[in-house]
């Protein structure tokens, strides 16, 4: 059994480490965050949902000592690939992981990148760092592969049951990697090249972004046009066999709002157009301003001065980036709350799905566990969890002074009768 090293023990790396350990491989899980390593050592993650239930679960060795990677036959890298302030790919973690690998690399090792990157990045950014730090050469001394991750944390799309593309710098390397990944994934797709696998990952998410952008553009355009309700239109269009249904809303999370920029950057650097992908991002990012506009419109009907006092609290319901999730990664919500604060409002969080301390840290806002921990101007419904709405218009009217506003961005309320509240919906 090959010894596997995993670099980066986050949403992607940790399930991989436990899956390979489940499958019987000796696994070294390495992360630069010492606290994370201590946590993992104290309470190893036993539930992977990946290995067959009847197989004895193995536990990876968790370490922040890079020298433990030296004996690994295959080293898989799953470090974050965020954007810079100006929405350009930030591959600094990939380069630094490459250096760590290079410093420990033995000839004969195969190195795999799983982080989402633009096409060309594995060969142009990752491999050179490994070669520089090791003095070894790709092909002669070590092999490289790229395999994008498609798992969605907390959903039925686990590592095992999502089709996983695998590529290598030669066909033989790809075959060797497919034999390895077969132990933890049911279905693999042999990608013709490293670059095709890198690009496919970005394109998949750029396509989703574009599809949602079309519906967002249309739904925002329908706002205030009495004869045109986007939901009615979607229900009619959906009766056609090849219409694909999406819902308008904030596009959040760690993949869909970010990955298109990887492809945009590479295409534009090649002097090619990526205007549609750029436009889709711009439309989806503009939903923040649209929601702020709905809040302002509702408040203007309330006709009260916004002066930044306690009465200007607004209860933001649903902080997770998508329904029924507990994941708080949302640049859009961070921007939305900043915009609301700029207008003298004080957003307060409410979300039974998320850890309150994590939410406070993520968005710099206090959390309430019920509607009526204090007075507020109203509620802003953001993420459509199954149990939402957790309160009725009557509850909101009773909880707050004056006529409170209800701004419903996911249409969780039935708008036919809105006694006691000022109602606006996306």
Ligand X SMILES: NC(=O)c1ccc[n+]([C@@H]2O[C@H](COP(=O)([O-])OP(=O)(O)OC[C@H]3O[C@@H](n4cnc5c(N)ncnc54)[C@H](O)[C@@H]3O)[C@@H](O)[C@H]2O)c1
Residues with a known catalytic role: 255
Report what 253 binds from ligand UD9, ligand X, none; CB cut-off 5-8 Å by kind.
Answer: ligand UD9
264 lies in the binding site for ligand X (CB under 6 A)? no
DSSP 58: P
Query: Which x/- pattern, by CB under 6 A, does the window 311-330 give for ligand UD9?
Result: ----------xx--------
Nearest to 320 by CA among 154, 205, 202: 154
410 lies in the binding site for ligand X (CB under 6 A)? no
Contact residue for ligand UD9 among 141, 182, 204, 296 (CB under 6 A): 204
Report what 110 binds from ligand UD9, ligand X, none; CB cut-off 5-8 Å by kind.
Answer: none
97 lies in the binding site for ligand X (CB under 6 A)? yes
Q: Which two tokens stand for residue 232?
A: 């009615």
Nearest to 386 by CA among 333, 343, 325: 325
- Rounded to the nearest 10 degrees, the angle between the axes of helix 275-302 and helix 259-269 is 140
Alpha helices in 57-126 (DSSP H): 92-104, 121
Q: What are phi and psi of 209, to 5 degrees?
A: -60, -45
CA-CA distances (angstroms) from residue 366 to 325, 358, 359, 375?
Answer: 20, 11, 8, 14
Nearest to 330 by CA among 269, 409, 265: 409
3-class DSSP state of 188: strand
Residue 32 vs 59, nearer CB to ligand X: 32
Report what 247 binds from ligand X, ligand UD9, none; CB cut-off 5-8 Å by kind.
Answer: ligand UD9
The residue number with the shortest CB distance to ligand UD9 is 255
Residue with tokens 């999502």: 162
Contact residue for ligand UD9 among 208, 302, 341, 343 (CB under 6 A): 208
Query: Which x/- pattern, by CB under 6 A, does the window 98-117 give for ligand X?
Result: --x-------------xxx-
Q: How far apart are CA 268 and CA 207, in angstroms?
A: 17
Q: Which stretch binds ligand X (CB under 6 A): 83-91, 95-103, 318-326, 377-385?
A: 95-103
Residue 79 vs 292, nearer CB to ligand X: 79
Contact residue for ligand UD9 among 29, 119, 253, 318 (CB under 6 A): 253
Q: How far apart are CA 215 and CA 210, in angstroms?
A: 9
Residue 153 vs 374, nearer CB to ligand X: 153
Residue 44 vs 293, nearer CB to ligand X: 44
Which residues make beta-bridge pairs with 407? 380, 424
Residue 20 vs 321, nearer CB to ligand UD9: 321
Interface positions, 28-47, toward ligand X (CB under 6 A): 30-33, 36
């Amino acid at each position: 059994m090959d010894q596997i090293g995993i670099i980066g023990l986050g949403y992607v790396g940790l399930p991989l480490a436990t899956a390979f350990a489940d499958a019987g491989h000796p696994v070294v899980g390495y992360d630069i965050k010492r606290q994370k390593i201590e946590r993992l050592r104290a309470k190893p993650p036993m539930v992977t949902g990946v290995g067959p239930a009847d197989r004895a679960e193995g536990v990876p060795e968790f370490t922040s000592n890079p020298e433990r990677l030296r004996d690994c036959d295959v080293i898989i890298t799953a470090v974050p690939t965020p954007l810079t302030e100006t929405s350009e790919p930030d591959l600094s973690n990939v380069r630094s992981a490459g250096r760590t690998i290079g410093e420990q690399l033995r000839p004969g090792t195969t190195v795999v990148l799983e982080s989402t990157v633009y096409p060309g990045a594995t060969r142009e950014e990752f491999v050179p760092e490994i070669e520089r730090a090791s003095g070894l050469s790709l092909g002669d001394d070590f092999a490289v592969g790229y395999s994008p991750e498609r798992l969605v944390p907390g959903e039925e799309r686990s590592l095992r049951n999502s089709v996983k593309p695998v590529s290598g710098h030669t066909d033989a390397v790809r075959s060797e990697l497919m034999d390895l990944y077969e132990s933890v994934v049911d279905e693999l797709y042999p990608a013709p090249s490293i670059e095709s696998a890198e690009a496919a990952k970005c394109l998949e998410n750029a396509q989703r972004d574009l599809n949602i952008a079309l519906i967002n553009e249309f739904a925002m355009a329908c706002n205030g046009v009495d004869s045109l309700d986007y939901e009615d239109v979607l229900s009619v269009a959906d009766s056609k066999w090849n219409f694909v249904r999406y819902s308008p809303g904030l596009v959040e999370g760690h993949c869909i709002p970010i990955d298109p920029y990887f492809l945009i950057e590479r295409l534009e650097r090649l002097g090619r157009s990526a205007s549609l992908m750029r436009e889709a991002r711009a439309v989806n990012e503009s939903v923040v301003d649209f929601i702020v506009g709905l809040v302002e419109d509702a408040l203007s009907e309330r006709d009260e001065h916004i002066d930044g006092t306690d009465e200007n609290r607004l209860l933001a319901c649903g902080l997770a980036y998508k329904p029924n999730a507990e994941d708080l990664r949302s640049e859009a919500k961070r921007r939305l709350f900043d915009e609301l604060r700029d207008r003298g409002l004080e957003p307060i969080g409410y979300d039974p799905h998320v850890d309150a301390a994590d939410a406070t840290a993520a968005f710099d806002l206090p959390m309430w566990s019920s509607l009526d921990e204090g007075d507020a101007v109203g509620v802003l419904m953001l993420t459509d969890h199954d149990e939402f709405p957790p309160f009725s218009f009557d509850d909101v009217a009773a909880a707050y002074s004056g006529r409170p506003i209800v701004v419903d961005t996911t249409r969780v309320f039935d708008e036919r009768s809105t006694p006691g509240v000022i109602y606006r919906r996306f």
